[in-house]
Amino acid sequence: MLEIDRAYVAIALLWAVAGMLLGLYMGIAEDHTLLTVHVAMMLSGFVTLALYGVLYRLWPAMKKSPLALAQFWISAISVAVLIIGSYFLVTRGSIPLAAIGSIAMIVGAALMAWIFIARGREAM
């Protein structure tokens, strides 16, 4: 079985490194055109996914939810879609991919809330 908590934190850390590298590039180049992409990487990619990993670690009964795996994949994929979509938004003015990623992130957050409410009180 997938260790959802560890997988979330691992993906979050990869997004953190990518976001920091993009921030470093923007600072060196003195070009903040991709600031929106950087923010999406750091907040959606790093902060949100790390928080989900921490929640699964602190309330391990949540991992037993039949929705946990779906919540993981929806959130992990939607972050990537949102970040790629934010790049297209900044560089081409294209909104659809960012909107799809954003909506999917909302679905992932709603599932996380549901799982927490349903399983957060259970013991291991």
Chain-centroid distance, C-alpha 33: 22
Residue-wise pLDDT for 48-61, tens only, equals: 999 999 999 999 99
Q: What per-residue confidence (pLDDT) applies to 124?
A: 59
Lowest mean pLDDT among 8-12, 63-67, 71-75, 81-85: 63-67
Q: What angle do CA 20, 103, 67 make, to 5 degrees?
A: 95
Residue-wise pLDDT for 1-11, tens only, equals: 579 999 999 99
The one-letter amino acid code at 117 reads I
